[in-house]
Amino acid sequence: MINNYSLVDRLMTDGTLSRPEFFTLIEGRTPELAEYLFDKARQVRHAVYGKDIFLRGLIEFTNFCRNDCLYCGIRKSNLSAERYRLSQEEILACCRQGHELGFRTFVLQGGEDPHYTDDRMVGIVRAIRAAYPDCAITLSLGERDRESYRRLFRAGAERYLLRHETRNEGHYAYLHPAGMSLRDRLGCLEDLRSIGYQVGCGFMVGSPGQTTDCLVDDLLFIKEFRPHMVGIGPFIPHKDTPFAGREAGSLELTVFLLGILRLLDPKLLLPATTALGTISPTGREMGVMAGANVIMPNLSPVGVRNKYLLYDNKICTGDEAAECRFCIQRRMLSIGYDIAVTRGDYAGLSGEERRAV
């Protein structure tokens, strides 16, 4: 046991561990060790970001998807999903409301929907950039080619979220249909970073077929790739997918990994995800207490919210943007944190990496 506490100490000082050490840390975790880890994670988090929680306004603008990921509720084979797309005007209306509510980052997230060609997306990004010069624009549109990423960056998008889902080849193949490959996914992440985006990767915790070795692969990959943000949340089954009957990931392991990630890179932008809030009513608060510093409330119009269902029982599908905004603020104040009305950039960005606003 002593041994595992010293692993936490070394993770804190060195920012990494060896493969067998990460394995031992994860497998040997206890509630007491977790508290010790979270205490260290909060210390480094406070040193870098204080008690500020950064908000990202999530706009789920299309649930059409050409992909068929086995875990995902909006996979193309799910014929029960009621599909929708938001127009540029509808997206801008979400931003307007979000800006009034104090959001300074908008995340446009959607399935891989061919309707949103480069020209259309560039038009949308330009319009948001022009109307909200003080805001960061984050895209989460899945895999596109390098030229597409480049055009969107030049149009004004500066961050991109693309979870790698798992850094284990066999596991990736188990979660995805033939035709999708880990190599393509990692290639996209490399493209995004070399173009100049602040990049977020991430994975689900407890996805079918995931072993502790897979998690260690993820941690070592994150250490090497050095993303600006890492999104992790528990896997939650969706009733109309091949993984319908599978077990959900655990709250306890997810928050433990959040603590590890905070020590891996103290500057990391680390969201307490909606999936975490879905498996437990206080999941997001626990995530923040374990080292997370970002929350991504939903800004999508209420009329479409219950259609962007990646997994069952998603929270906030009936709530207005303003309700979520103030709900989050209450929740954060209740644990001694507060919402910052800022873009919430990665703390390690150099001057020229920050776009002039």
Q: Does 332 bind ligand FES (CB under 6 A)?
A: no
Q: Does 8 bind ligand FES (CB under 6 A)?
A: no
Q: d(Cα 37, Cα 291) in Å, to the nearest integer?
A: 9
CB-CB neighbours of 306 under 10 Å: 13
Residue 328 binding partner per list ligand 5AD, ligand FES, none, with a CB distance cut-off of 5 to 8 Å that depends on partner kind: ligand FES
Tell me if 323 contacts ligand FES by CB under 6 A: yes
Which residues are bridge partners to 95 per DSSP? Answer: none
Q: Binding partner of residue 327 among ligand 5AD, ligand FES, none, CB under 5 to 8 Å per kind?
A: ligand FES
Alpha carbon distance, N-terminus to C-terminus of the chain: 50
Residue pointed to by tokens 């789920």:
60
The minimum distance between CB 224 and ligand FES, in angstroms, equals 34
Interface contacts to ligand 5AD, rule CB under 6 A = 71-72, 163, 165, 204, 233, 235-236, 238, 275, 310-311
- Structural contact between residues 234 and 249, judged by C-beta atoms closer than 8 angstroms: yes
Residues whose CB falls within 8 Å of the CB of residue 121, separated by 6 or more in sequence, listed in order: 139, 141, 148, 152, 155
Q: Pick from ligand 5AD, ligand FES, none: which does 11 bind, CB < 5 to 8 A by kind?
A: none
* DSSP character at residue 228: S
**Residue 319 interacting partner from ligand FES, ligand 5AD, none (CB closer than 5 to 8 Å by kind):** ligand FES
Cα distance between residue 82 and residue 84, in whole Å: 7
Give least dist CB 288 to ligand 5AD, A: 19
How long is the chain?
357
Q: How far is the CB of 154 from ligand 5AD (least distance, A)?
A: 25
Beta strands in the chain (DSSP E): 52-55, 57-62, 105-110, 136-140, 159-161, 198-205, 229-234, 294-295, 338-340
Three-state DSSP class for 338? strand
- Least separation, in Å, of the C-beta of 109 and ligand FES? 16
CA distance 126 to 10: 45
- Binds 54, which of ligand 5AD, ligand FES, none (CB < 5 to 8 A, cut-off by type)? none
Question: Binding string to ligand FES for residues 274 to 303, with x set by CB under 6 A, is what?
Answer: -----------------------x------
Interface residue with ligand FES, options 17, 175, 316, 339 (CB under 6 A): 316
Q: Looking at this protein, which amino acid is placed at residue 15?
A: G
The amino acid present at 53, given as its one-letter code, is I
Task: Please work out the total of residues on this chain that contact ligand FES, with binding judged by CB under 6 A.
Answer: 7
d(CA 108, CA 112): 12
Least distance (Å) from ligand FES to the CB of residue 63? 19
Residue 319 binds ligand FES (CB under 6 A): yes
* Angle, helix 212-225 to helix 251-264, in steps of 10 degrees: 30
Angle between helices 2-14 and 251-264 (to 10 degrees): 40
What dihedral do alpha carbons 66, 68, 71, 74 form, nearest 10°? 40
Using CB under 6 A, which of the segments 72-80, 122-130, 181-189, 318-326 binds ligand FES? 318-326
Q: Which is nearer to ligand 5AD, 106 or 132 (CB)?
A: 106
- Picked from ligand FES, ligand 5AD, none, the partner binding residue 165 (CB below 5 to 8 A depending on kind) is ligand 5AD
Token output for 56: 């990202």
Q: Is 320 in the site for ligand FES (CB under 6 A)?
A: no
Which lies closer to ligand FES via its Cβ, residue 227 or residue 231? 231
Of the candidates 328, 337, 339, 346, which one interacts with ligand FES according to CB under 6 A?
328
Residue from the set 8, 324, 332, 339 that interacts with ligand FES by CB under 6 A: 324
Residues that bind ligand FES (CB under 6 A): 297, 316, 319, 323-324, 327-328
